[in-house]
Amino acid sequence: MLSPPRRIIMASGKPAIEFAAECAEADIPRLAEKIAARLGMTITQHIKGADVLMWLATLGDQQWCISWDIWVCDLIVMPWDDPPATPTASDSAIDGLLERWSSAP
């Protein structure tokens, strides 16, 4: 089960969206895919590390990362840009995703 999305600021200073995930670790991939689908994202890559799961995704020409790690235990959606987007561009992108989430069926 996912909590409603909440805007946060990552340690890097970038804005992100946090979904509290009340489930077993085995359920995380299904929840990440559910988030991507509801936001209209296309998952392009899955990365599994020792303590992190990541899904890289696109939405239009924007790149995103949906991540989960054992230290936070929530799903985080953040811009995945190279070079990093400006804070204003990241803020606008996050606002757009929150609007998409709230208007999705």
Q: Which domain holds residue 84?
A: 6-90
pLDDT the model gives residue 101: 93
Q: What is the pLDDT of residues 6-44, one digit of tens each?
A: 999 988 888 899 998 877 788 899 999 999 999 999 999
What pLDDT, on a 0 to 100 scale, did the predictor assign at position 66? Answer: 96
Domain for residue 97, yes or no?
A: no
Q: Examine residue 99 and state whether it is found in any structural domain, yes or no.
A: no
Count the domains in the chain: 1
Query: Domain for residue 80, yes or no?
Result: yes
Stated pTM of the model: 0.89
What is the 3-class SS of the chain, one letter each residue?
CECCCEEEECCCCCEEEEEEECCCHHHHHHHHHHHHHHHCCEEEEEEECCCEEEEEEEECCEEEEEEEECCCCEEEEEECCCCCCCHHHHHHHHHHHHHHHHHCC
Does a structural domain hold residue 39? yes
CATH of the domain at 53: 3.30.160
pLDDT tens sequence across 49-77:
988 999 999 999 899 999 998 877 799 99
